[in-house]
């Protein structure tokens, strides 16, 4: 029976393949990772690629959301300070409406309300990391100014009415800022017009005009502010919850990725043992072929 001239080469190819398998299995036992390239397990590697992409989206969101949450917390804190200032203004105006005022009383009330208005103007122009919080999308400006050349003083708003929001990884949107005109006035949209009302009150007491209607308007504005803040607090809580959810999802995705690519030591050790047996068998075949000079076919 004539010997197959390709048999020696085929045997050597099989030996090379077995040794390559041994090397891969040894690396898997050492690293604990079974998928290191697409050729190892294309299906698992493709799944790993999808998981990695989702983890990247989550990581980008949590990173940007840290700044967003910080900004929203400053907005909420500013609204809290604004509430305190307006509550004080209502108290001062109410006291002034309930008594007979002489010139000194009126002057004191005007001074107190002017101080409060200046505080409110400062709050309206609050910025975070160099970005105005109450300017709509025009965050690089100082949105509010008072024109004292007229009586009462008028409010100028240089921002816009755009409501800023962020998109979450799940595709939802969360409001992240409040256009200032909705609170402080000076814009074209309906709002509380708190700076304008304070201007009217200052004019009332400085000109000995009844301030009852404007005090009631300030009370109404204070109530509107409470509703706006409550809605914004809901958005802040939603954003914080979304950050927590996304962080937990990142942990779960990482666990899924680890499970997908991690090695099974017992199975790998068995496969390595089988490869070693095949190697020994091939060495025996090669030794036998050497004795019968079959390797002459390779020359």
pLDDT (tens digit per residue) in 246-269: 778 777 777 766 666 555 566 656
189 — pLDDT class (breaks 50, 70, 90): low
pLDDT at position 263? 52
Token pair listed for 153: 């003083």
pLDDT at position 294? 47
Maximum mean pLDDT: which of 22-31, 66-75, 235-244: 66-75
pLDDT at position 10? 67
149 — pLDDT class (breaks 50, 70, 90): very high
Q: Which residues contact 192 (CB under 8 A, 6 or more apart)?
A: 182, 183, 184, 185, 220, 221, 224, 225, 228
| Least confident window among 155-159, 182-186, 277-281 | 277-281
| Least confident window among 1-10, 37-46, 183-192 | 1-10
> What is the C-alpha separation between 250 and 59, in angstroms, rounded?
8
Residue 124 has pLDDT above 60, yes or no: yes
Token pair listed for 99: 């008594």
Percent of the chain at pLDDT exceeding 90 = 48
> What is the C-alpha separation between 283 and 298, in angstroms, rounded?
17
Considering only CA atoms, which of 198, 228, 174, 178 is closest in space to residue 121? Answer: 198
Residue 71 has pLDDT above 60, yes or no: yes
Beta bridge partners of 33: 262
pLDDT at position 8? 62
291 — pLDDT class (breaks 50, 70, 90): low
CATH number, span 69-254? 1.20.1330.10
């Amino acid at each position: 029976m004539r010997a197959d001239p390709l048999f020696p080469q085929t045997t050597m190819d099989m030996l090379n393949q077995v040794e390559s398998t041994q090397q891969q299995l040894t690396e898997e036992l050492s690293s604990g990772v079974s998928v290191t390239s697409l050729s190892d397990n294309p299906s698992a590697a493709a799944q790993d690629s999808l998981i990695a992409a989702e983890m990247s989206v989550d990581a980008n969101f949590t990173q940007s959301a840290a700044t967003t949450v910080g900004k929203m917390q400053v907005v909420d804190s500013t609204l809290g300070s604004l509430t305190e200032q307006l509550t004080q203004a209502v108290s001062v105006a109410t006291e002034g409406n309930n008594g007979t005022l002489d010139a000194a009383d009126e002057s004191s009330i005007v001074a107190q309300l002017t101080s409060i208005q200046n505080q409110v103007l400062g709050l309206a122009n609050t910025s975070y990391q160099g970005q105005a919080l109450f300017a709509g999308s025009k965050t690089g400006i100082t949105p509010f100014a008072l024109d004292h050349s007229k009586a009462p003083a008028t409010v100028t708003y240089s921002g816009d009415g755009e409501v800023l929001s962020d998109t979450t990884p799940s595709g939802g949107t969360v409001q992240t800022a409040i256009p200032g005109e909705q609170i402080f006035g000076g814009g074209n949209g309906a709002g509380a017009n708190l700076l304008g009302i304070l201007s009217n009150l200052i004019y009332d007491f400085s000109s000995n005009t009844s301030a009852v209607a404007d005090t009631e308007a300030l009370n109404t504005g204070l109530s509107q502010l409470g509703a706006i803040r409550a809605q914004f607090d809901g958005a802040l809580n939603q954003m914080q919850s979304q950050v927590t959810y996304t962080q937990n999802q990142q942990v779960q995705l990482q666990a899924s990725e680890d499970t997908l690519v991690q090695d099974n030591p017992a199975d790998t050790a068995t496969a390595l043992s089988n490869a070693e047996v095949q190697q020994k068998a091939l060495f025996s075949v090669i030794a036998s072929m050497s004795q019968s000079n079959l390797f002459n076919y390779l020359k």
